[in-house]
Amino acid sequence: MEGDSNSDDTSSTMLNMYTTLADLSMQESLGKASAMSKATPALWDALPQELEDKVLANLRLQELYRTRAVCKSFRQAIHRHTFRHARRQFLMSSSICSSSSSIPSHVHEGSFSPIVLFVNPLGIWEWSGYHLELQKWIKLPTLSCLPAPDRRVLKNFFVAGCDGLLCINIANPFERSVEKLIVCNPLTQSSLELPPLNYRRHPVLLHVLVDHANNSFMILVAGSSSMGSEHLCRKTEVYDSLTSSWEVVADLPGPDFGLNEYQVGVHLNGIIYCIVLTNQAEDEADDDDAAPIQCCKGLLAYSLKDKTWSSNSSYILPRLSSDATFATTQLLECNGSIYVFSEQELYGSHVHFCIAKFDGSDWTVVVNEKRKGYSRGLLVYPEYVCLAHGEGKLCIFNAVEHTMVVYDINSNTKESLTPLPVEHSAGMSKVHTLNPLPFVFRPSFDTAI
């Protein structure tokens, strides 16, 4: 009976402390936590570390990062390995945020798509994301681990991400400067500025891969965005966190500046795909004897195992008509399939959204819809981005107006979802990145830098 009594006391203590922290996180969000936070450490310090971890691990994500802002004791606790273990156990038993990997040591806090970046008046990065499982917009933890951005170039940042990590080139590609690549985990607030590239430049392709089995990550960069850098436009380099160094691998094939659109590419089965200009003529892409007539857009593949690019692309991107021209193009992955989203200008005036699915050898158009509003696509800063939005669903998101329409590819239906709440962006400066976050992001305390 005495054991049962101790268990009841422990459960009661955890419940009281959980309620206190949840209350405190709400007060913190309202800017009223100062008096309460002074009294909390004494109560907190009375708990064994194991109970501290369990109490924190059971908080909702928003409560968790609000609580972290209250005092140093809470921040230190959330950075402990034992907390991450307790959080992992909690999430693995949750029906909302399940593991995205077959490796049980990695779990995430949910899937967010789309994601919007801002800079607040203090120069701190902030962001909001649409939680696919909860089906609502959520303000995510401030990215205080990143240096304050130059407000003059809020449209020039290049962002990639994967399984809890973000990689951002915070240098200005339109000035005669070199890259400045930073990797960060928004939940642990840890960050790392990567060493200089062997060939200093502003890359056009930026891709992040996380290896949970080896507790490591890899960054692939390729191409160059600067005119007059023809000697750099084919360069490809790979950063491995296990060696903390860049390796120069095979050059890009095709014409100079064939990789000329900012993109993060798509990873599928050990291959990274990207969109390039190819010397192949569209009508003669499959004719080995045909002489090149004009450049058109196609897929290029990089093998992670062989560290080489395919010799050239024959998977020419589909056009809606013979006179259609591409305004923007973007690759994405959804449920193990590759899609290409494009804005195509028809007859010199109308712009259509086009989404096509790649079956490994050819394309099938699954969405063809006339775009509303402006008649021409934005050629420099993409206004629209397409993202995976759940099983068999794709979302076209307006990165300027923050509205979104979801297309169910299987049922051939669509619906408009709640746009980003105005209060999420009040007083903020918008960040229109060179490549508006075209990936589903899954924050995780487990992903280490």
Q: Which of 329, 332, 266 is nearest to 298 (CA)?
A: 329
Angle, vertex CA 170, rays to CA 232 and CA 394, nearest 5: 90
Kindly report, residue by residue over 291-310, the tens digit of the pLDDT: 444 468 999 999 999 999 98
* Domain parsing of the chain, residue ranges: 2-92, 112-430
**Which band of pLDDT confidence, cut at 50, 70 and 90, is reported for residue 64?**
confident
In angstroms, the CA 240 to CA 215 distance is: 11
- What are 127-144's pLDDT values in tens digits? 999 999 999 999 988 888
The torsion defined by the Cα of 68, 73, 79 and 81, in degrees rounded to 10, comes to -140
What are the start-end ranges of the H helices in 32-184?
34-45, 49-57, 61-68, 72-78, 81-92
The Cα 114–Cα 226 span in angstroms is: 29
User: Counting Cβ atoms within 10 Å, is residue 54 exposed (0-12), middle (13-18) or buried (19+)?
Assistant: buried
d(CA 354, CA 317): 11
Q: What is the mean pLDDT of residues 98-117?
A: 71
Higher per-residue confidence, 248 vs 19? 248
In this structure, are residues 245 and 239 in contact, taking their beta carbons and an 8 Å threshold?
yes
At residue 99 the predicted structure's pLDDT band, cuts being 50, 70 and 90, is very low
Task: Return the SS3 of 333.
Answer: strand
| Tokens coding 77 | 């606790």
User: Backbone dihedral region of 92: left (phi > 0), alpha (psi from -120 to 50 degrees) or beta?
Assistant: alpha
Query: Backbone dihedral region of 331: left (phi > 0), alpha (psi from -120 to 50 degrees) or beta?
Result: beta
Cα–Cα nearest to 74, from 82, 61, 65? 65
pLDDT for res 313: 61
What is the arithmetic mean of pLDDT over 258-274? 94
Phi, psi (5° rounding) for residue 118? -140, 170
Whole-structure pTM value: 0.85
Instruction: Tell me the sheet residues that pair with 344.
Output: 326, 352
Superfamily grouping for domain 112-430: Kelch-type beta propeller (2.120.10.80)
CB neighbourhood size of 7 (10 A)? 10
Under the banding of pLDDT at 50, 70 and 90, the label for residue 251 is: very high
Higher pLDDT, 69 or 391: 391
Across 13-17, 349-353, 381-385, which has the greatest mean pLDDT?
Answer: 349-353
CA pseudo-torsion sign 324, 266, 273, 178 = positive
Coil, helix or strand at residue 13: helix
**Selected residue with higher pLDDT from 50 and 192:** 192
Burial, 349: exposed, middle or buried (Cβ in 10 Å; 0-12, 13-18, 19+)? exposed
Residue 1, pLDDT > 50, answer no
In angstroms, rounded to a whole number, what is the distance separating the alpha carbons of residues 143 and 167? 12
For residue 283, give the nearest of 296, 268, 301 by alpha carbon: 296
Residues pairing with 222 in the sheet: 205, 236
Rounded to an integer, what distance in angstroms lies between the CA atom of residue 9 and that of residue 281? 76
Closest C-alpha among 49, 45, 110 to residue 81: 49
Residue 106 is predicted with a pLDDT of: 67
* Alpha carbon distance, N-terminus to C-terminus of the chain: 47
- How much is the average pLDDT of 233-259? 95
CB 398 within 8 A of CB 114: no
* Nearest by Cα to 256 from 276, 275, 281, 240: 276
* 410 three-state secondary structure: coil
Q: Give the model's confidence band at 419: pLDDT under 50 very low, under 70 low, under 90 confident, else very high.
A: very high
User: Is the model's pLDDT at 58 over the cut of 70?
Assistant: yes
Per DSSP, helices labelled H in 96-200 are: none
Query: What pLDDT is stored for residue 149 in this prediction?
Result: 79
